[in-house]
Amino acid sequence: MNKLNELIKYILVKYPKIEELSKPRLVKLIYLIDWKHSIEFGEQYTDIRWIYNHYGPYVNDVINTIKNNPDIYEVYTRENPYGGITDKFNIKKSKNLQINIDIKGKKITDFIIEKTFHIEWSNFISIVYSTYPVRTNLKYSTLDLKSLAIEYKAEKTTGNNVYKK
């Protein structure tokens, strides 16, 4: 089972405002799911190797998974509210659609969707940029969410921030 593919299907079925789920928002949503899963359960939900680039945590894995599965997903391009072009995604209608996501993955995904779907982009991205991995790492670095979750939990427990100068 490809956890990322199953997670994407689950998000596209569960997301309340699918028309507002842009490519960047979907990728950042999955980052937040992986981060929360790392904190709660000691490991990411997906096996994505997250990179902190100039747009925050970003990888092509999510979009490539969608584009590599045209039998499952529809990709269409439309204008965004700012006059730019964006890709949107849907699940193709199928009687046989199965989504294999475990209870922990559902719990975290439902939580992240519920807390963020109604938030406008600027506030949503502020949440992403306020996460511990982004605040404590340099741009263009790999974000080891499992290790960073351990650091984060230790800092929360002890109050010691090893990054304060």
Residue-wise pLDDT for 89-113, tens only, equals: 999 887 788 999 999 999 999 999 9
Residue scoring higher pLDDT (117 or 158): 117
Q: Cα(1)–Cα(3) distance, rounded to whole angstroms?
A: 6
Residue 82 DSSP symbol: T
Task: Flag whether 35 is in a domain.
Answer: yes
Q: Which residue range(s) make up the domain with 143?
A: 3-152
3-state secondary structure of 131: coil
Please give the pLDDT value at position 160.
64
What local confidence, expressed as pLDDT, does residue 95 receive? Answer: 74
Tokens 């490539």 label which residue?
64
Write out the H or E segment, with its range, that includes residue 50: strand 50-53
- Pairwise CA distance, residues 146 & 13, whole Å: 27
Number of domains in the chain: 1
By percentage, how much of the chain surpasses pLDDT 90?
72
Confidence at residue 60, expressed as pLDDT on a 0 to 100 scale = 93
Digit-coded pLDDT (tens) for 46-59? 999 999 998 899 99
In a domain, 121, yes or no: yes
- Does 139 fall in a domain? yes
**Is the pLDDT at 164 greater than 50, yes or no?**
no
Q: Model pTM? A: 0.91
- Would you state the pLDDT for residue 153? 93
pLDDT at 162 over 60: no
C-alpha–C-alpha distance, residues 122 and 63, integer Å: 22
Q: Which of 39, 1, 24, 14 is nearest to 106 (CA)?
A: 14
Whole-number Å distance between alpha carbons of 22 and 84: 12
**pLDDT band at 159; cut points 50, 70, 90:** low
DSSP output for 12-39? HHH-TTGGG--HHHHHHHHHHHHHHHHH
Residue 68 has pLDDT above 90, yes or no: yes
Q: Is residue 39 part of a domain?
A: yes
In whole angstroms, what is the distance from residue 82 CA to residue 60 CA? 23
Query: Within a domain: residue 164?
Result: no
Residue 161 — pLDDT band, cuts 50, 70, 90? low
Asked whether residue 109 is assigned to any structural domain, the reply reads yes
Residue 23 lies in a domain: yes
**Bigger pLDDT: 153 vs 162:** 153
Q: What is the mean pLDDT of residues 141-165?
A: 81
Residue 118 is assigned to a structural domain of this protein:
yes
At 76 the pLDDT is 86
